[in-house]
Structure 1
């Protein structure tokens, strides 16, 4: 089984229900084991800012799926939950991104591992830090905690814990 970290994000209501459904669909796959999940954080939109606030979280899974099989499954979850790709960085019912896949480095037309922008995104690093602060990734081999130190104070203040509700009970 490979250790994988996924980012989940949504800003179209019902936001919490989209996160719950995505986690349920991940857990139902016979080759995916949900190991841990962060709290939910409310975050300001990045890139295209004329949209609602996001709910973001990170999940750690173990899987025997290949990176591309996992990507296909994540995209099928996005489709099931009504994701439309109309505006880059625009509103979405759900977004699932593979952040780190078993410490692999890979670059294809469909997938770059580790995720190429995760080190500059507070909405990814803060929830990832909650569940795995010592995880190392990137060319420099820095930890999540190291990357958080590189963020600006304003980036971090745009990420606030939204709820401690255990999504598994939903």
Structure 2
């Protein structure tokens, strides 16, 4: 069940009435902030399934989720609005291995890569990986555009400390 609230003509937030925050002793080493998004199909339902998937996967520990933000697309404009949220996980995987893991999860949830900023069922971006800084061809941490994207900033602000 979600509560819907319009921020302005182009931004809407959806707050889940079942708030989930898990903080306890973990055997996983790294705290990872992930941006999730999508605009194909029932995205809010897909986000709920993704949460269940992560909660069942022993390679990660699900800690927290943010509100969901509905916002207009950028880049390729001829597509539906996006739903975006933030989740916090813990893992013991190193950053490149974790990136490969997330790409497999995207594929499992129907992601097909066609062109930049294309419509998609699920997009998973590593925003932060503990306090690490990574600059590689396939991976930059922190995410280089996070501070310019309302689709990241508003959900981040909505996380419980």
TM-score (norm 1): 0.74
User: Can you list the C-alpha shifts for 1:7-52, whole angstroms capped at 9, x where unaligned?
Assistant: 0001001212221222222222212111110011111101111100
How much has 1:132 moved relative to structure 2? 6.2
Deviations 1:76-119 (A, max 9, x none): 11101111111211100000000000111111121110001111
Q: Which residue of 2 aligns with 1:66?
A: 94
Q: Is the 8 A contact 2:67 2:159 kept in 1?
A: no
Equivalent residue, structure 2, for 1:4? 32
User: Aligned equivalents of 1:103 and 1:37: distance in 2?
Assistant: 19
If each structure's helix is expressed as a fraction of its own residues, which one has the higher value? Answer: 1
Query: What runs of 5+ residues in structure 1 fail to find an aligned partner?
Result: 134-170
Q: Can you give the 5+ residue segments of structure 2 that lack an aligned partner in the other structure?
A: 1-28
Counterparts of 1:76 and 1:34, CA distance in 2: 17
Q: Distance in 2 between matches of 1:5 and 1:132?
A: 13
- Choose from 14, 19, 32 the match for 2:60: 32
Corresponding residue to 2:123 among 75, 87, 95: 95
Give 4+ residue runs of structure 1 displaced > 3 Å after superposition. Answer: none
Q: Match for 2:46 among 11, 15, 18?
A: 18
